[in-house]
Every structure is written in structure tokens, then in C-alpha cells.
């Protein structure tokens, strides 16, 4: 009796179909990386292991703001939008925000709020009939995400939810406008006035908190 030869090509095709099927069933997570200092960013040191853990559960799309061509929202751009002329790349970003099942944002606490690049990104993505809609009485959200996670570090000793923490309050308001579910926050503060050893410990604690959130995110 002749032994049937193993069909490696067929096995590879089957494996590919299984993999593609699993990918289709995975929910989508949009990671917005607003760590402007990139690898020198303390916020990114917290965000990276958390996002890596979430890749076990989600198909992750990353938008790194340092790599995007972010036009400033001024009169010319607004006029174009009113005439239905929206940049294709910007529309793709807005659609990614709209279609994500979960959203993670990493951004340092700058000038009592978020970096200008991140605010600009949100303004570009705030497109009528994409991320939000309206009726005769008010605006309402059009985004799919059930949860949003905001990862940040603050140089000063300002806690999340403090009246001086305009970053969290802005993101809560934006979540409401876009119809996104509850905002969760992972933060480390008072980073500018302590030793490197203390900074490392604060980052370690924040990562642990984020990994715990990731289990049910």
C-alpha cells in the first residue's frame, strides 16, 4: 500500500482560511498614538505593553500621529468640507474611528490638556454623518466603540478628574459627541519632580493597572 504524500500546499491553504476566518471574527481596536516624543515618551512606556496585551483579543490598527499629515483646521479646509470636499486620507481616519469596537489613546498631559496634534486629529475626524450625526434638536454619536481607554502621564501632581485635568474632561465630552462608551483612564502623575527610580516604579504600577483593565476591555 502506497503512503499518500502530505499535501503541504493544501495544508497551507486550509491554515490560511482558518487564520482569515479568525481574523474576521476578531473585533477591531484602534490605537491612536499621540506620544509626540516617541521612544523617549514616558506615556509610551506605559502604553506599549498594554496595547501588546490587547493584540491577543483584537485586530489592532495603529495611527501614529507623528507619521500622519495633519492639516490645520482653518477657514480654507472648513470651506472645502462645506462643499463636500474631504481629503480621502482624513476620511479613512474618521471611518477607522467610527468602525472600531474599542479605542485606545496614548497622549501625555501637555499644557493642562492633550497635545495640539491630537486635538487637531480629532477635529479632522469630527465629520458629519461619519463620527456624528444630528437631528432637529441635537447632535448624537455615530461611532461603534463601546469603550475608550486613555493612557497618560502628567509632570505635575494632578490626579485624573481634577478640575485642572482638562485632557480627561475633553475626551469624556468627545466620547459623548461621537457616541463612544465609557472612558477609562490609566495615568501616572508627578513625574517631573521625582527620581528616575520613582518614575520607573510609577510606570510599573500604571502598566499593571492597564493590563488588569485589558482583561475585560
* 89: helix, strand or coil: helix
Contact by Cβ (8 Å): 26, 58: yes
The C-alpha R_g of the chain, in whole angstroms, comes to 21
* Closest CA relative to residue 45, chosen from 192, 210, 213, 180: 210
DSSP 110: B
- DSSP, collapsed to helix, strand or coil, labels residue 188 as strand
Length of the chain, in residues? 217
How far apart CA 146 and CA 28 sit, in angstroms, is 11
What pLDDT sits at residue 25? 75
- Average pLDDT per block of 10 residues along the chain, 217 residues long: 50 51 77 96 98 98 97 93 94 98 98 97 97 96 98 98 97 98 98 98 98 98
Sheet holding 102-106, edge to edge: 58-64, 27-33, 102-106, 147-153, 183-188
> Tell me, what's the pLDDT at 71?
92
Alpha-helix runs per DSSP H in 126-193: 166-178
DSSP designation for 191: -
SS3 124: helix
Domain spans in the chain, listed from the N-terminal domain onward: 27-214
Other beta carbons within 10 Å of 24: 8
Nearest CA-CA partner of 32 in 53, 54, 63: 63
Q: What's the CA gap between 14 and 203, in Å, rounded? A: 43
What pTM did the predictor assign?
Answer: 0.87
Tell me, what's the pLDDT at 211? 98
Residue-level pLDDT at 18: 46
Q: Please, are residues 154 and 110 in contact by the beta-carbon 8 Å criterion?
A: no
| pLDDT on residue 171 | 98
* Residue 79 CA, distance from chain mean position: 28
Q: Please enumerate in sequence order all residues whose Cβ is within 8 A of that of 98, keeping only pairs 6 or more positions apart, or say none.
A: 130, 131, 142, 143, 144
Q: Tell the CATH superfamily of the 27-214 domain.
A: Flavodoxin domain (3.40.50.360)
Amino acid at each position: 500500500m502506497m503512503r499518500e504524500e502530505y499535501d503541504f500546499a493544501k495544508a497551507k491553504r486550509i491554515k490560511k482560511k482558518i487564520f482569515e476566518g479568525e481574523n474576521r471574527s476578531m473585533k477591531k481596536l484602534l490605537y491612536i498614538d499621540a506620544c509626540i516624543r516617541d521612544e523617549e515618551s514616558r506615556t509610551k512606556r506605559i502604553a506599549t505593553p498594554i496595547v501588546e496585551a490587547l493584540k491577543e483579543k483584537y485586530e489592532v490598527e495603529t495611527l501614529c500621529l507623528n507619521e500622519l499629515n495633519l492639516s490645520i483646521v482653518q477657514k480654507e479646509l472648513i470651506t472645502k468640507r462645506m462643499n463636500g470636499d474631504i481629503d480621502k486620507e482624513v476620511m479613512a481616519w474618521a471611518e477607522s474611528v467610527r468602525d472600531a469596537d474599542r479605542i485606545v489613546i496614548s497622549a501625555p498631559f501637555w499644557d493642562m490638556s492633550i497635545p495640539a496634534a491630537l486635538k487637531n486629529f480629532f477635529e479632522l475626524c469630527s465629520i458629519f454623518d461619519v463620527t456624528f450625526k444630528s437631528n432637529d434638536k441635537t447632535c448624537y454619536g455615530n461611532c461603534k466603540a463601546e469603550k475608550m481607554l486613555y493612557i497618560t502621564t502628567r509632570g505635575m501632581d494632578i490626579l485624573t478628574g481634577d478640575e485642572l485635568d482638562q485632557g480627561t474632561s475633553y475626551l469624556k465630552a468627545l466620547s459623548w459627541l461621537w457616541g463612544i462608551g465609557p472612558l477609562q483612564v490609566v495615568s501616572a502623575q508627578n513625574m517631573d519632580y521625582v527620581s528616575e527610580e520613582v518614575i520607573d516604579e510609577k510606570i510599573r504600577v500604571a502598566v499593571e493597572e492597564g493590563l488588569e483593565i485589558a482583561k475585560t476591555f
